[in-house]
Structure 1
Amino acid sequence: MTKDKSVMNMENRSLISRIFSNKTASISFIFILCLVFIAVIGPYLTVYDPNVPDTSNRLASPSAKHFFGTDHHGRDIFTRIIHGMPLSLYIGVISVLIGATIGVVLGMISGYYGGFIDSFIMRCMDVLFAFPGILLALALVSVLGNSLHHLILAVSIFLVPMFARIVRSSTLAICQLEYIDAMKVLGASDIRIIFKHIFPNIVSPIIVQATLSIASAILTASTLSFLGLGVQPPTPEWGAMLNEGKDYMYQAPHVAFFPGLAIMFVVLVFHIFGDGLRDVLDPKSKK
């Protein structure tokens, strides 16, 4: 039992120090910290109001006065992107927290109890998996209505099956270890075993999946907003900005280019960080 515990808890070094030992993870982690810093401080440092139109500067090209130019209402695009960053990160993080919480609980229950409970939960997850994530989120938002909370709920639901399956497989592996049987013999309750002895040993794949899912959540939310089913104008959400700019692709391409670039950059950074975390936290993935 002691040996099994020592094997499962071998990574007791600080997560931060392990991240900075990996070049990919460390560089992307620094970028993420910069994004968070900009999201928190940036809106207070901008000069222009993100929602106040200025018809005299409609579709102005990028310049020293307007770094990313202006849109069809004369609003500063750089200011709107900065003000939209907290919203995009908020949607991504909150959606993942909700989806991960539900998925982790379902996955641990499924893997620990097995039998009918396992079959029932996994069949429900298969039903959700039968729909592409974006189509599932699109259907949910169409039914629930256009609002920020409905958008977050829709994105959260399509993330649940991914976490449930990953956690179930990890839980099944942990349940085969001797110290879990020893805990049962000693009279430990199922809740104690699940949350004190199983959950701490499956945190690594959860963290990796959560990081990758933030990128997916931001991209999905931006897609829904682009289709007009997410955050509505004049809120400076990047997908909605991209939708407004598509009508001016030839006349003023910068209106759509910079919001699209912002989405691509943030999603790419989180994906790279997730890949780096996988190398750091999963020894099997290392060469």
Structure 2
Amino acid sequence: MSSQQSQQDKEYLAEQSTKGSLFWNNFKEFYKRLAKNKTALIGGYLILFLIIVAIVGPYITTTDPSQVDYAVKLEGPSAEHWFGTDHHGRDIFTRIIHGLGITMIIGVASTILGGIVGILLGIISGYYGGRIDTIIMRFMDILLAFPGILLALALISILGASRQNVIIAIALFAVPTFARIVRGSTLSVKNLEYIDAMKALGASDIRIISLHILPNILSPIIVQGSVFIASAVLSASGLSFLGLGEQPPSPELGALLSDGRDFIWDAGHIAFFPGLFIMLIVLAFNVFGDGLRDALDPKMK
């Protein structure tokens, strides 16, 4: 019995080792294709750097982001205050470090939420077709008829200004984009022979969708998710800039940008540095998304 158990353990370890080796080989192949696009690679490293700063930064800064000191208000960048101070004497560098995580959380969370709903609707629409497809797609067309930022403004005006409502509002106009992409990919996959074979063998729709369709349409979903995060960050910052997102004294980047608009001529650094970080986030996700599109495209292999 013990020898049989030992043999089973060896087979299990060998199987896990094979899976790990296969994953590592696939990752190296993917990285080689991504590395051909130097701009996308730089964008990926920049995203990684911003994530690390957003996670670690608040724990290593010694200044309270909400600490007011009117004795040093509107000071320019210096050795003591790297990005200067605002009209309340608060350290802008510290506030940006704390606000970076808030802005990225809103962007990522709204993309994930909108992506989940959009993927679900897109797969149902593409797989079942018929009247279900017509109803879902016409509803998506209605959502696409409204500019995303206007739809978010209307929703937040109804629900009220808060971080949760901003995430919901941005996620809402992410849904039709994901749904249309997933529907198209599902239509191209569901008519393949191996899907017909699974149906003939009696596999359930849920099993076919979860194990055979969804894994084969992940590439466009990942690419769209990466690109949409940039749009979500820009929308979240825009809503905070208009006073409909994070509320003072939150250091969200859009709110920091709004704080500096009244001092753009006298103390331009207040608006410059938050705007710079918003630009870096959007640029990094956009160029990385373009690189992902090339790296994950089967025609490029």
User: What is the Cα deviation at residue 90 of structure 1?
Assistant: 0.7
TM-score under structure 2 normalisation? 0.89
Distance in 1 separating the partners of 2:32 and 2:117: 30
Task: Name the counterpart of 1:233.
Answer: 248
Distance 1:27 1:265 in 2: 11
Q: RMSD of the TM alignment (CA)?
A: 1.4
Give unpaired runs (5+ residues) of structure 1: 1-11
What CA deviation, in whole Å up to 9, does each residue of 1:58-104 have, x standing for no partner? 10011111111100000011110000011111111111110000000
| Corresponding position of 1:37 | 52
Q: CA separation in 2, counterparts of 1:171 and 1:34?
A: 35
> How much does 1:19 deviate?
3.3
CA distance in structure 1 between the aligned counterparts of 2:138 and 2:190, rounded to whole angstroms: 21
CA-CA distance at 1:282 after TM superposition: 1.3
Q: How far 1:175 moved relative to its partner? A: 1.2
Q: Take 1:165 and 1:181, find their aligned partners in 2: how far apart are those partners?
A: 23
Question: 1: distance between equivalents of 2:46 and 2:259?
Answer: 28
CA distance in 2, matches of 1:249, 1:261: 14
Contact persistence 2:231–2:282 (CA under 8 A): yes
1:146: which partner in 2?
A: 161
Q: How many angstroms apart in 1 are the aligned matches of 2:134 and 2:81? A: 57
| Other-structure match for 2:12 | none
Aligned to 1:51: 66
**Is it true that 1:75 corresponds to 2:86 in the alignment?**
no
C-alpha distance after superposition, 1:209-230 (max 9, x if no partner): 0000111111100000000000
Secondary structure, counterpart of 2:173 in structure 1: helix
Q: Are positions 1:174 and 2:189 aligned together?
A: yes
Aligned to 1:259, the other structure's residue is in SS state helix
Distance in 1 between the 2:297 and 2:225 partners? 15
Out of 86, 89, 99, the residue aligned to residue 114 of structure 2 is 99
| 2:278 corresponds to which of 229, 253, 263 | 263
Paired position in structure 2 for 1:7: none
1:136-168: CA deviation from partner (whole Å, max 9, x where unpaired): 111111111011111111111110000000000
Q: For structure 2, which runs of at least 5 residues remain unmatched after alignment?
A: 1-24
For 1:13, give the aligned amino acid: N
| Count of aligned residue pairs for this structure pair | 275
The aligned amino acid for 1:51 is S
Match in the other structure for 2:16:
none
Quote how far apart the aligned CAs of 1:29 are.
1.2
**Secondary structure of the residue that 1:13 maps to in structure 2?**
helix
Q: Secondary structure at the match of 2:65?
A: coil
Post-superposition Cα deviations, 1:230-284, rounded to whole Å, max 9, x if no partner, equal: 0001010111111111000111111111111110111100001000101101144
**How far, CA to CA, are the matches of 1:86 and 1:20 in structure 2?**
27
SS at match of 2:195: helix
Amino acid at match of 1:57: V
Correspondence 1:173-192 to 2 at 5 A = 173-192=188-207
Specify the structure having the higher radius of gyration (Cα).
2
1:108 alignment partner in structure 2: 123
The alignment status of 1:13 with 2:22, answered yes or no, reads: no
